[in-house]
C-alpha cells in the first residue's frame, strides 16, 4: 500500500462549488479510481490560503494524478477548471508532497 499526498490551489470564493461537485462525484470516476487501486481519497482545504491538500491510499501502481490519458479524468478536469488553478490541459496544478513522518 502506498500513501500519496499532494497540494492543489482553489480559486478564491470557490469552496462551496468545489464541495458540491465532489459531493456529487461521478460514479464512473469513482469506479475508475477504485479500479486503479485508490482505496481512500481525502481532500482538505486551508481556507486562509485556498490550498487543497489531498491524500490517497493506493494499492495499485498509480495514483489519481497518473490517469491523465483517461477520457473520464479529462472530462472531470474540464469540469473543475473554472474553480481551480490548472495547467494548459486543464489538469489541476498539483505539487507532490514528501512524507516526512508516519505513525502506523
Q: Report pTM.
A: 0.90
3-state secondary structure of 65: helix
Q: What is the mean pLDDT of residues 6-24?
A: 98
| End-to-end C-alpha distance for the chain, whole angstroms | 12
- CA 8 to chain CA centroid, Å, is 8
CA distances for 27 relative to 23, 31, 33, 61, 85, angstroms? 11, 6, 10, 22, 24
- The domains found in the chain, sorted by start residue, are 2-96 (3.30.70.100)
In angstroms, the CA 88 to CA 18 distance is 20
> Any bridge partners for residue 4, and if so which?
56
pLDDT tens string 49-91: 999 999 999 987 766 767 889 999 999 999 999 999 999 999 9
- Residue positions annotated with a catalytic role: 22
Amino acid at each position: 500500500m502506498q500513501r500519496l499526498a499532494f497540494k492543489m490551489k482553489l480559486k478564491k470564493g470557490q469552496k462551496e462549488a468545489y464541495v458540491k461537485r465532489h459531493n456529487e462525484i461521478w460514479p464512473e470516476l469513482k469506479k475508475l479510481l477504485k479500479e486503479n487501486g485508490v482505496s481512500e481519497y481525502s481532500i482538505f482545504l486551508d481556507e486562509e490560503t485556498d490550498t487543497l491538500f489531498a491524500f490517497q491510499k493506493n494499492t495499485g501502481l498509480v495514483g489519481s494524478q497518473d490517469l491523465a490519458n483517461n477520457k473520464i479524468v479529462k472530462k472531470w478536469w474540464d469540469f473543475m477548471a473554472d474553480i481551480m488553478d490548472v495547467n494548459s490541459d486543464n489538469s489541476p496544478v498539483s505539487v507532490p508532497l514528501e512524507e516526512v513522518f508516519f505513525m502506523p
